[in-house]
Structure 1
């Protein structure tokens, strides 16, 4: 009996934990689903924030407000970035929760499909906004919290409407995260 219990414990310890992720249904110029695996091991507070907001429906109908060709697509402004609202402030807001302390990792690098947390000048100012990389950007390593990576839907990411100018502001009808759900 003791050996059976011990072998069951060892089998559980050896089995991989369920990975938490997000499915983002995108509508607009891009149509489809982007699946993101979240890095609970290196950014637990940020993963908790993203999944909490997704479970509350806070990301539903939030636009990609800043999209820079060859760099990244930014979204997640749950305060000012909702489709149908006054888009003049999109990118300036966050959630009603406190900003998060940075969770930088030497183990991960900004590659194509990496998801990072957007912030202001303070490293400890990430809140609800995040960005997804079109191309590698190693100059961001150690500067922004890496929270996950796209494992499916890079073609959908590539089709997101691009912004204009050096800041990548999307003019006209932006693409939108129509529905964001937490996966395991």
Structure 2
């Protein structure tokens, strides 16, 4: 499968991170993320919840973990892809169909999340930059996405 149109490049305060989007796993989530990126939604958004050995979460316009986009929440697209180092998956509230704009990148294996969160991509470059993101819940003076682009 060609990566054309399915690579998302995040310029972060810690460096570049390239994510391969996986529409074959979660077509609606990937389409939603592409729409948000095209509107500049993720530009300037912070990594608000970063847990060492677990994951870095971003995508909240309020920077608190309580916000989403202006669009309705997504119906879950749980799939068999494992939550391992570099996995990109949607954050959500208790309701399985509550994912909107927030996502997280796994630092390490988190297989207990499998089939309960929608996996939609994987980091293919720059995982060492994800590793450098400042930790905290909430993070003081957090790192952020400077810009997000699809190519």
Please give the range of the TM-score, normalised by the shorter of the 2 chains.
over 0.9
Say whether residues 1:96 and 2:64 are aligned partners: no
Q: Counterpart of 2:149?
A: 181
**RCO higher in 1 or 2 (8 Å CA, sep ≥ 6)?**
2
Pairing of 1:136-147 with structure 2 (within 5 A): 136-147=109-120
Greater share of helix: 1
CA–CA separation in structure 2 for the residues paired with 1:21 and 1:141? 23
Structure 1 runs (4+) deviating above 3 angstroms are 16-19
| CA RMSD across the alignment | 0.9
After TM superposition, give the deviation of residue 21 of structure 1 in Å: 1.7
Say whether residues 1:170 and 2:150 are aligned partners: no
Pairing of 1:1-184 with structure 2 (within 5 A): 16-19=1-4, 20-27=6-13, 31-78=14-61, 80-81=62-63, 90-106=64-80, 108-163=81-136, 168-171=137-140, 173-183=141-151
CA–CA separation in structure 1 for the residues paired with 2:104 and 2:150? 17
Please say if residues 3 and 20 of structure 2, whose CA atoms lie closer than 8 Å, have aligned partners that are also in contact: no
Q: What are the ranges of 5 or more consecutive residues in structure 1 without an aligned counterpart?
A: 1-15, 82-89
- SS of equivalent to 1:47: helix
- SS of equivalent to 2:101: coil
Q: What are the ranges of 5 or more consecutive residues in structure 2 without an aligned counterpart?
A: none
